[in-house]
Amino acid sequence: MAESKRGWVRLLQAGWLKPLIFLVFLTVAWDLVIRLFHIPPYQIPKPADVIETLWTDWPSLLAQSVPTTIATVQGFVLSALFGIPMAMLIVGSRTVESYVYPLLVFSQSIPKIAIAPLFVVWFGFGMLPKVLSAFLLGFFPVVVSAVQGFKSVEPDMLDLARAMEANRLQIFRMVRLPHAMPAIFSGLKVSITLAVVGAVVGEFVGSNNGLGFVLQRSIGNFELPTMFAALVMLSLIGVILFWIVDVIERLCIPWHASQRQDLIVAA
């Protein structure tokens, strides 16, 4: 009896259960609001209808998720591949920093949605414009946090390494890069969620597949349950990709404060 009670308590404390309970609560509230205020289904669909659509259209929704996910992941990988070396250049050279960094910040104030149609003009309706759009959104947070990470090494630590006669490459490899890893990962986490947005934006402006395309078509046809189902799929993609980055982070920086579970030894 006591055993099963403890089991329940543990289950209630599981990390995934609390957001799930809240999600159920929100869904119920959604349903109640529709019933109470008599909101017509062409404005907001009933949760039951969305769930039904998810159930019946699952194969096609899943199929449409594939190009969106691929575009997101490719854009994200490009963000990391270009963003981290870009941050290294900015940190490594005053000249690069003074020329490039302000422009990079400036470029971020340009709305990406305005540029996305241009990609379609340049590269057609294929994969490339989506990937570029995802890359454009995902790139900036990686650069900013990596620059922050590389720069935040204590001066005393650098003095210590220099006093050991370490050269620039050794200092980078042994001190700066590992030190920057937590910041880089927090940038990558922001980047992956923005890359999903970027891919959908790319699909909005010019594509004939993907969840962005499904979204736009269903709005045009007033198929609101389909549209909401596509939104659910998008959030699932976002959550799963975020979780994957989180797992990689745990594997890469088990030493970081955010990952510690061990007890502290005192003596």
Partner 1 sequence: MSRESVSNVTPLKREYRAASLEAARPVSIEIKGVSKTYKTQDGEVPSLRPIDFDIYDGEFVVVVGPSGCGKTTLLKMVAGLLPPSGGEIRVGNKVITKPHSDVGIVFQSAMLLPWRNVLRNVMMPVEVKGLPEAEYRERAMALLKMVGLQGFEKKYPWQLSGGMQQRASICRALVHDPKIVLMDEPFGALDAMTRERMNVELQRIQRETRKTVLLITHSIPEAVFLADRVLVMSERPGTIAAVYDIDLPKPRTLDVLSEPRFVEMTKIIRKHFNAQSDGA
Interface residues with partner 1 (CB under 8 A) are: 154, 156-157, 159-166, 170, 174-175, 178, 181, 253, 255-257, 260, 262, 264-267
Say which amino acid occupies 68: T
- Nearer residue to partner 1 within complex by CB, 183 or 215: 183
Q: How far apart are CA 117 and CA 205, in angstroms?
A: 6
Token pair recorded at residue 242 = 């975020």
Which residues, in sequence order, are CB contacts of 177 under 8 Å at separation 6+? 150
Q: How far apart are CA 86 and CA 101, in angstroms?
A: 10
Q: Is 166 helix (H, G, I), strand (E, B) or coil?
A: coil
Token pair recorded at residue 113 = 């949605």
- Nearer residue to partner 1 within complex by CB, 35 or 168: 168
Say which amino acid occupies 245: V
Smallest distance from partner 1 to CB 98, Å: 17
Smallest distance from partner 1 to CB 169, Å: 11
Helix axes 211-220 and 177-205, enclosed angle (nearest 10): 40
- Nearer residue to partner 1 within complex by CB, 162 or 250: 162
Smallest distance from partner 1 to CB 175, Å: 7
Q: Which segments of 28-179 are extended strands (E)?
A: none
Smallest distance from partner 1 to CB 11, Å: 31
Smallest distance from partner 1 to CB 253, Å: 7
Torsion angle, alpha carbons of 80, 86, 92, 95, to 10: -170
Token pair recorded at residue 28 = 């119920």
- Nearer residue to partner 1 within complex by CB, 178 or 238: 178
Question: Computed from CA positions of residues 173, 175, 176, 179, in that sequence, does the dihedral angle turn out positive or negative?
Answer: positive
- Nearer residue to partner 1 within complex by CB, 3 or 156: 156
Smallest distance from partner 1 to CB 243, Å: 23
- Nearer residue to partner 1 within complex by CB, 20 or 160: 160
Enter the DSSP assignment of 259: G
Enter the DSSP assignment of 155: H
